[in-house]
Amino acid sequence: MDKLTPNPGWSPRISMPKTPPNPSPSDLAFINRQLRQRLSTLTREASHNEEVLKRFHDRELTLLATESLPQLLSCLADGMKSSFDLPTIQLVLHDPDHELRHLLLHSGIEPDSLSDIRFVDEISSFSPRHARYKAPWLGAYMEQDHAILFPNAATLKSIAILPMIRRSKLVGFIGLGSHDPNRFTRHHASDFLNRLATISAICLENTANREHLVIAGLTDPLTGLHNRRYLERRLEEEVTRALRYRHPLSCLFIDADHFKQINDRHGHGAGDSVLRELALRVRECLRLSDIATRFGGEEFTLLLPQTDATEALNLAERIRHRIQDKPIAIHGGESVAVTVSIGVSALRPDSDSSTQQIGERLLGDADSALYESKESGRNRVQLATTPACQKTTPP
C-alpha cells in the first residue's frame, strides 16, 4: 500500500446492500458475504490511513525538533526520502537576498553541494506556472511541464508538488517523485501533504531566525566579520576536513600598521571607521568559502580552505595592495593612509599531533610570520619559516 497518501475513495460509511422482500437463506448468506467483504476493505483502508497519519505525525515532530538550518534541510530532503520510501525529493526555496545561502556558508556548507535543494532569487521567474499553486498538486509526471522542478528525473511516473506558504507568501516547493504511476494521482487526498508543507514553511522561518541569533553571537558588531569565538569553532572543522580529503589549508594574520597613532591623532571614532573599511576591503578579495574574522583590536585572521601557501601569498599581496592603494576616509572629510602587515602559514599535517594541536600550530605559524613582517619594516607579507611552507614559497 502507498506509504504517503490516504487510500483514494476511502469513506467511513458502509453502503448497505439491498435486501429483497422475503429473502431466502441463500440471499441472506450472499448479503452477509458482501458486508464482510466491505467491512474487511474498510478495516484495511482505516489501518492504512492510520499508518499514513502516524508517518506524517512522526515526520512533523522531527521537523519541529530541528535546531539548525542544515539539519532542517537534511530532514526535508534525505529524511523525507527515507521515511516515505521515495526515489526523488526536490526542494526549491525562495531566497531573493541569498539569506539562506549565507546562513549555510556560516555553517561551513556550500549551498551548491546540496544536490536535492535549489535556491532561487525569484520563484515566480523560476517557474511562473507553479508559482501560482496554492495547494498540493498530484498527478502524472510530464517532462515538458515538470522537468524544471525535477531535473534529470525522466523516469518518474507520478509526482506531488507541495507549495510551502508562510504568511500568504510562497516560500518554496517540496517535490515528491515516484516511479509508480499510481503513487500520486488526483484521486488521492492531499490534506496530510498540505499540512506537511505548511509545517515545513514554519520550520524554515524559525530555523533561519534561530541561525541569525546564533550568528549574532559569533559576529563582530563593528566590522560585521566573524569573531574569535567563531574562528575557534570553525578551525578544528576545517583542519579535520583538510586532513581527511588531503586538501591544503592556509591562514593569514593581518594587522594594521601604526593603528594606535590613528586613534591618538584622530580619535577612536576614526579608528572604528578605519577598521570597518579594512574589513570591507579584505572581504572584497575573498571567496565565499573563505573565513574572515576579527581576531582582536586591529588584527584580522583568515582561514583559506583548499588554498596552498603560494595561493595564500598571492592573496595576501592583493589584500596589501588593495588597502595601501587608497586612503581611508574618516570624519570631517579627512582621510588617512593605512598599510597592513600580513603573516602567512600553511597546514602542516602531523600524525603525532591532534587535530586541535595542528590547528593551533597553523594559527601560531601565521602569528609568528606576522611578527616577522612587523620586525622587517611593516607593509609587507611574510611566509612562516617552516619547512612545509618554504617548499611552496613562490620564486
- Residue 59 burial (CB count, 10 A): 21
The counts of H helices and E strands in the chain are 13, 12
Cβ-contact 366, 276 below 8 angstroms: no
Work out the end-to-end distance of the chain between its first and last CA atoms, rounded to an integer number of angstroms. Answer: 69
99 is catalytic: no
Which of 21, 18, 1, 19 shows the shortest CA–CA distance to 10?
1
Which of 212, 238, 221, 217 shows the shortest CA–CA distance to 68?
212
Sign of CA dihedral 225, 228, 229, 234: positive
Cβ-contact 165, 171 below 8 angstroms: yes
How far, in Å, CA of 160 to CA of 260, rounded?
63
Torsion angle, CA of 128/130/135/136, rounded to 10 degrees? -170
Which of 288, 295, 302, 255 shows the shortest CA–CA distance to 274?
255
Among candidate residues 211, 238, 298, 299, the one labeled active-site is: 298
- DSSP class per residue in 159-226: EEEEEEEETTEEEEEEEEEES-TTTS-TTS--HHHHHHHHHHHHHHHHHHHHHHHHHHTTB-TTT-SB
Which of 237, 250, 242 shows the shortest CA–CA distance to 366?
250
How far, in Å, CA of 210 to CA of 64, rounded?
13
Active site residues: 298
